[in-house]
């Protein structure tokens, strides 16, 4: 598709025309990686979740007297594609707001397009701190901050017996590079040495990297990869003798899609996986209702964290429009800045905003329009073929539901 070259003024004009009056149906845009090299399993899960959000909103009477239509665009996990589809959603599809979003590099590429057009965005799964750190008026996020997840990784590594040296395997993207730097800094602070190996997004053959990792002789491997690339690396490392059953290894959260994980990573038992969202024991009524609808729609045994985030991103935009009584972008922003929404992820709000900016509150700039406390946990598959819903939470302590099973190197 040829890239659209549009000025900020043209985008703002198109957005203004869309918001001049409420037209039915109200269109909410969304981006998701539905093609390689993006994380296709994640994108498909988000698409299914957002379809459920559309159905739930319309079953409850819609918004401002109109049905809602969620228009999902495939960003392929590529920044330039992500920018182009954001432009198309605004200028051609006439969306009044945007949810979804998986890859940080895509969010960083298209957020300024939306902001210039006055279109509010609630990003669901983009972790890079700069998504909110830029302080853009129309940009919000319910995913965790990369720096906060890095702290969880480093703190968890410090609890693993005998870990003195860690290898980080990171994709060469706006997610992987800062995440590896932040995690390495946390490991340094804990007195754990580390090395970083970077790969291109969508890499399939990891044989060269695996040989270099083996030469490092690490006590633990932390993956900062997304989607199917993580499946490839985990299985190939297991076949090379440095997989999850050999040394402590973390897997990307795409591993939470149990069917796809075990099909692609039959030797993935004992992998530790970071999960976003409430542990199952703390699910609220909204979470339980969504999980029931999602598992019925998809045939899966559980709902992945990014599916819950995608659902909440659409639902909270619809709720903000109801509060605002309008589809005007600035009115939606004001409603979001003051909202308290009970979602699948828990109670969502954005306390650091135009009335309480991060600088005045004494917090880092990236807390601007950021849901500040999404639950982030570390779970572990402890039986081959185990369902993600049955994997125990191991860390942090406040969410702990089981004890870790250490691989061979720790048990020696």
pLDDT in tens for each of the 412 residues of the chain? 333 344 444 444 444 444 446 889 999 999 999 999 999 999 999 999 999 999 999 999 999 999 999 999 999 999 999 999 999 999 999 999 999 999 999 999 999 999 999 999 999 999 999 999 999 999 999 999 999 999 999 999 999 999 999 999 999 999 999 999 999 999 999 999 999 999 998 899 999 999 999 999 999 999 999 988 999 999 999 999 999 999 999 999 899 989 999 999 999 999 999 988 888 888 999 999 999 999 999 999 889 999 999 999 999 999 999 999 999 999 999 999 999 999 999 999 999 999 999 999 999 999 999 999 888 999 999 999 999 989 999 999 999 999 999 998 886 5
CA gap 54, 69 in Å, rounded: 6
Q: So what CATH class is 147-275+377-411?
A: alpha beta
DSSP for 235-261 reads: HHHHHTT-STTTS-BEE-GGGGSHHHH
Q: Which one, of 272, 113, 101, lies nearest residue 175 by Cα?
A: 101
Q: Which one, of 200, 199, 46, lies nearest residue 125 by Cα?
A: 46
To the nearest 10°, the Cα dihedral for 260, 262, 266, 269?
140
From residue 217, give the alpha-carbon distance in Å to each of 145, 184, 209, 235.
Answer: 30, 17, 13, 18
What architecture is domain 8-145+284-367?
3-Layer(aba) Sandwich (3.40)
How many angstroms separate the first and last alpha carbons of the chain? 55
Pinpoint the residues of the chain covered by CATH 3.40.50.2300.
8-145+284-367, 147-275+377-411
């Amino acid at each position: 598709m040829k890239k659209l070259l549009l000025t900020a003024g043209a985008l703002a004009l198109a957005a203004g025309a869309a918001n001049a009056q409420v037209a039915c149906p109200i269109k909410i845009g969304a981006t998701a990686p539905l093609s390689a090299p993006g994380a296709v399993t994640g994108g498909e899960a988000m698409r299914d979740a957002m379809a459920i959000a559309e159905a739930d909103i319309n079953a409850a009477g819609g918004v401002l007297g109109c049905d809602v239509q969620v228009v999902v665009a495939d960003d392929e996990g590529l920044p330039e594609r992500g920018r182009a589809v954001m432009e198309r959603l605004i200028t051609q599809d006439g969306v009044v707001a945007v949810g979804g979003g998986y890859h940080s590099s895509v969010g960083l590429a298209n957020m300024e397009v939306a902001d210039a057009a006055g279109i509010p965005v609630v990003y669901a799964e983009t972790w890079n701190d700069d998504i909110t750190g830029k302080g853009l008026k129309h940009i919000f996020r319910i995913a965790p901050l990369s720096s906060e997840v890095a702290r969880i990784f480093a703190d968890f590594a410090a609890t693993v017996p005998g870990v003195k040296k860690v290898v980080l395997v990171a994709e060469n993207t706006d997610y992987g590079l800062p995440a590896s730097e932040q995690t390495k800094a946390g490991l340094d602070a804990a007195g754990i040495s580390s090395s970083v190996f970077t790969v291109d997004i969508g890499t399939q053959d990891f044989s060269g990297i695996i040989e270099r990792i083996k030469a490092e002789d690490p006590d633990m491997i932390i993956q900062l990869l997304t989607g199917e690339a993580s499946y490839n690396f985990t299985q190939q490392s297991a076949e090379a003798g440095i997989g999850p059953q050999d040394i402590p290894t973390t897997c990307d959260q795409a591993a939470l899609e149990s069917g796809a994980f075990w099909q692609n990573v039959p030797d993935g038992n004992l992998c530790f996986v970071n999960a976003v969202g409430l542990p199952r024991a703390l699910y609220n009524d909204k979470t339980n209702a969504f999980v029931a609808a999602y598992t019925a729609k998809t045939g899966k045994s559980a709902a992945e964290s990014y599916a819950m985030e995608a659902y909440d991103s659409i639902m909270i935009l619809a709720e903000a429009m109801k509060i605002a009584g309008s589809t005007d972008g600035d009115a939606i922003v004001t409603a979001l800045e003051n909202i308290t929404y009970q979602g699948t992820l828990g109670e969502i709000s954005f306390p650091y905003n135009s009335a309480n900016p991060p600088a005045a509150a004494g917090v880092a700039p990236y807390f601007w329009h950021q849901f500040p406390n999404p639950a982030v946990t570390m779970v572990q598959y402890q039986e081959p073929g185990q369902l993600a819903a049955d994997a125990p939470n191991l860390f942090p302590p406040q969410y702990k539901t089981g004890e870790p099973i250490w691989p061979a190197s720790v048990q020696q």
